[in-house]
Amino acid sequence: MSVTWGVLAILGVVVAVGSLIQGTIGFGVAVIAAPVTVMLAPSLLPGSVLICGFTLAVVQLAHSRGGGRSGLVPCVLAGYAAAAPLRARVDADRFRRWVLIFCVLASVSVLARAAVG
């Protein structure tokens, strides 16, 4: 499936909005961009969202001039290196189900906390 320039323009706007939200509250680019990308151009997943998220994190780190977070970069790189061998062994469908379950439980937890306090 080829991706048209119009779809890329829409995805660019969506990533820009997600980046603005992430710059404001700390998360958003993947939360906003991934669902829209699934609907418009699923062939671009997961690489496009990962590249956008990583690039935005690097830009935010550079903008804050380290700000005590410079130790984060080696940790992220170590995490990618540690996860790389697991990628070949993990069943993608099973992993997606576990991620979905985790996201639902996290959402329920946040909503319950908001309702309580």
pLDDT number for residue 43: 86
Tell me: the pLDDT tens digits for 67-100? 555 566 676 777 777 777 776 777 777 777 777 7
Q: Hey, where are the domains in the chain?
A: 1-69, 71-117
**Average model confidence (pLDDT) across the chain:** 78
User: What letter does residue 91 receive in the DSSP assignment?
Assistant: -
* Residue 104: band (very low, low, confident or very high) from pLDDT cuts 50, 70, 90: confident
Burial (CB count within 10 angstroms: exposed 0-12, middle 13-18, buried 19+), residue 96: exposed
pLDDT on residue 25: 79
- Range ranked top by mean pLDDT from 11-15, 23-27, 56-60, 62-66: 11-15
